[in-house]
Structure 1
């Protein structure tokens, strides 16, 4: 999938190429595009974004490390330059429609490694019959009058970029409990900016509602798709949105 390149290395500059790439990255750090503490995209993705080699990216990162703008550990390079704070993602819960802690509802979540539903495969750009990580969530009240079921399929990009998700492949047997409530936090920590679209439609019976969430990153790459079905006579779906103050 084609990516949007936010910046091109400036021409007519006497600095070596890695110095120009370092300057572009530094601009992003100062603007808060990559907030303090957030992991930078991997070398491969930075090389593709700027149209340079991975060795050039390594040299640029070394310049930023020496200046104290980034720090590197076993998980990669992280922004350390002061910038704008990371916006809260508290309103974006995983999976969509998951309840807050409710002592009366019984929640169960598992993961499998399997071929996703055809509409999920198309939305994620997966080849036909290609398996991926599929998460299933079920919540029901003791009286059985409120039932929520959600099926989430993750893309190859999400599994490649987010180590915490990739680790579930070896235990995705469909029986082991797998609450992935921090899935969106893991994606953000991996340097992904999350954009989501939620579509609400009626699903069969008048008391049933379907919510389809699609999430992609800053490069328009699909990360996950979730289908939630709420079957409830007196249940309510609540969506919260936070808008930052102007200025």
Structure 2
């Protein structure tokens, strides 16, 4: 009887947090980006927000460009990273699940690097594919964080090329003549004058044979000279949206 009472109490608490359109009063949105989904009138948003009782909401969501952005956790897409450039017929991403490798079981299991499960769903008439990996395998796969200052860049349909880069992360200060990164999850951080302060790129490389993760890298790039946000296209690139408190 006590267990049942506790279950009902927990259910009420969870409903009060995530019910009612998944909102606790107003959300304080501290990060909001959007990119036009190619061949569509819809936008893909990436956001991070804080609400009542220190609740945090973050992730990706699709909305029509005619609609105002609002937070609804039930509409959040079920992945952590994009694995390709969003298109009007398909958006792909990756995430992880325990598969007995969370908490104290982490070192009791062997890392598995292959795809454990693939889930498909439809959000706003777009097919969503999510590839799920074992938590330990996901955590231990090659991951890198790199920071560079660059002099100039070139954009193609699927990639960004940066030239004459200096590494500001390592003590040795590695110099690169050129760095190629795939578009898809590219975030432009702007000043009030629409000048680029920083570019953050998450690049997920999946095997063309079996879709297993080859690597995940995050690259921070700072322009050496003034670079305008308008110099970048809309394809595969997130641009900042004015932040406000959202119901």
Which bin holds the TM-score, normalised by the shorter protein? under 0.3
Higher strand proportion, which one? Answer: 2
Higher helix proportion, which one? Answer: 1
What TM-score, normalized to structure 2? 0.27
